[in-house]
Each structure stands twice: as structure tokens, then as C-alpha cells.
Structure 1
Amino acid sequence: MSKLTAAERNALPDSAFALPGRRYPIHDATHARDALARASEMLHRGELSQDEYDTIHRKAEAVLHNERP
């Protein structure tokens, strides 16, 4: 995954994140795929609710669908 610096993250609009609080950046396909993987881990650990996971999954899939040729 490409590293997102603090300045780059701060420059992203709120809409580039899957969850409120600027959690799970999904502004490109690489970050969307990573968000899916991390969300799955967090759900299985009990650190993410099913609703939060579903939101991340839906928004990340939308980003991935838009980036496919």
C-alpha cells in the first residue's frame, strides 16, 4: 500500500473516508482494498461493529468498481 502522509491525509475531503472521524481512507483502489482487509480483521477482533463493517465494505466496493477499466 502506498504510504499516506499526514499532510496528504489532512488534505483529503471527509467524503474520501469510509467512516466518520476520518477513519478508513478509501480515496483510491489501493486504500479501498486495504480498508476491506483491515475492516475484516477489526470485525473479527470485535473492534468494529457489523454496521461499520458493512459501511466500509459498501463504500470501498464503490471505489473499486469506479476504478476498474
Structure 2
Amino acid sequence: MSRLTEEERNALPDSAFALPGRRYPIPDAAHARDALARASAMLHEGHLDQEEYETIVQRARAVLGEE
């Protein structure tokens, strides 16, 4: 997966992020897969609550066409 530069991230619309505050960018399939993996880890570490995790999963699956 390619990293987003600060400029690229800033250019993304708010709708390209899974969570408010422009958290978890999912502009493409590679970033959606990465968000799924990272969200699972963050949930288990206590950095996300269940609702945030489910939102990330739902939004990432939509980007991947797995609705």
C-alpha cells in the first residue's frame, strides 16, 4: 500500500475517511484493507470502541464492494 502524503491526505474529501475527525482514510481498496486490519488491532488494544470499529468495517467493506 502506498502512503498518503500530507498533501494527498489533505486533498481527500471528508467522505474518504471512515471516522469523523478525518480518521482512517479509505480512498481506495488498499487503504480499506489496511483500515480493516488496523481497526481490529486498535479495538483489541482499547483505542476504538465497538461502534467506531463497526463503522470502519462497514465503510471499508463498501469501498471493497463487499456491502
TM-score (norm 2): 0.96
SS across alignment from 1:34: helix
* Match runs of 1:5-44 below 5 Å: 5-44=5-44
Over 3 Å off, 4+ runs = none
SS across alignment from 2:2: coil
Number of aligned residue pairs: 66
SS across alignment from 2:65: helix
Mapped partners of 1:16, 1:10: distance in 2: 11
Mapped partners of 1:19, 1:32: distance in 2: 12
Q: CA deviation at 1:3?
A: 1.0
Mapped partners of 2:25, 2:47: distance in 1: 17
Match of 2:45 in 1: 45
Mapped partners of 2:22, 2:8: distance in 1: 13
Q: Deviations over 1:11-55 (max 9, x none)?
A: 000000000000000010000000000000000001100000000
One-letter amino acid of the structure 2 residue matched with residue 37 of structure 1: A
Percent of counterpart pairs with the same letter? Answer: 74
